[in-house]
């Protein structure tokens, strides 16, 4: 490439894939009366820790995406994000866990059960972190 046509990426933004558990796995979180609570039976892909799989569920069904995007800074993540706050193994099953996720009520359209179920249930079946996912 000639020097005249070279371009340089912006210094302020670095694109890339991110770990969900850094933001969406919050074991210290105490649920609120206004949270919508869900429990998912998760079978992570080989090599994926259960915390990452649970955090992926919380992220992808709320404010997250698999890649870093510049619009991340435009939304109040702490106000709207889903949080995987607890994970426990399924007794008698190898590599299966129950991931407990809290969603803030403000994340969903008021009075729309369809919106809530579409967000929580309908957006997970192509997730690469999970081999299997069941809303329990």
CATH number of the domain within which 50 lies: 3.30.70.150
Residue 38 maps to a domain = yes
Q: Are 79 and 106 in contact (CB under 8 A)?
A: yes
Count of domains in the chain? Answer: 1
**Which are the contacts of 41, defined by CB distance < 8 A and separation ≥ 6?**
90, 96, 97, 98, 99, 132, 133, 134, 135, 136
DSSP-assigned letter for residue 90: P
Domain for residue 95, yes or no?
yes
CA-wise closest residue to 110 among 29, 30, 34: 34
Rounded to a whole number, what is the distance in angstroms from the first to the last CA of the chain? 55
Query: How far is Cα 54 from Cα 29, in angstroms, rounded to an integer?
Result: 14
Looking at the domain assignment, is residue 4 inside a domain? Answer: no
Task: Give a yes or no: residue 109 inside a domain.
Answer: yes
Please indicate, yes or no, if residue 7 is contained in any of the structural domains.
Answer: no
pLDDT in tens, the chain (136 residues): 445 555 444 455 454 456 888 888 999 999 999 998 989 899 988 889 999 999 988 888 777 665 566 666 666 677 778 899 999 999 999 999 999 999 888 777 777 777 677 776 665 554 555 656 666 5
Decide: 108 and 115 in contact? Cβ < 8 Å.
Answer: yes
Residue-number span of the structural domain to which 52 is assigned:
17-135
pTM over 0.85: no
Q: Is residue 1, in this structure, part of any structural domain at all?
A: no
In a domain, residue 8? The reply is: no
**pLDDT tens track for 55-64:** 988 888 777 6
């Amino acid at each position: 490439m000639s020097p005249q046509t070279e371009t340089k990426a912006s210094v302020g933004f670095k694109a890339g894939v991110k770990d969900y558990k850094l933001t969406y796995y919050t074991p210290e979180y105490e649920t609120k009366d206004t949270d919508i609570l869900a429990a998912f039976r998760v079978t992570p892909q080989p090599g994926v820790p259960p915390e990452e799989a649970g955090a992926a569920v919380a992220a992808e069904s709320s404010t997250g995406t698999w890649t870093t995007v510049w619009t991340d800074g435009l939304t109040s993540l702490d106000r709207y994000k889903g949080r995987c706050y607890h994970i426990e193994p399924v007794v008698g099953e190898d590599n299966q866990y129950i991931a407990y996720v809290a969603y803030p009520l403000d994340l969903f359209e008021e009075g729309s059960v369809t919106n809530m179920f579409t967000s929580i249930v309908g957006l997970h079946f192509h997730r690469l972190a999970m081999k299997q996912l069941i809303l329990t």
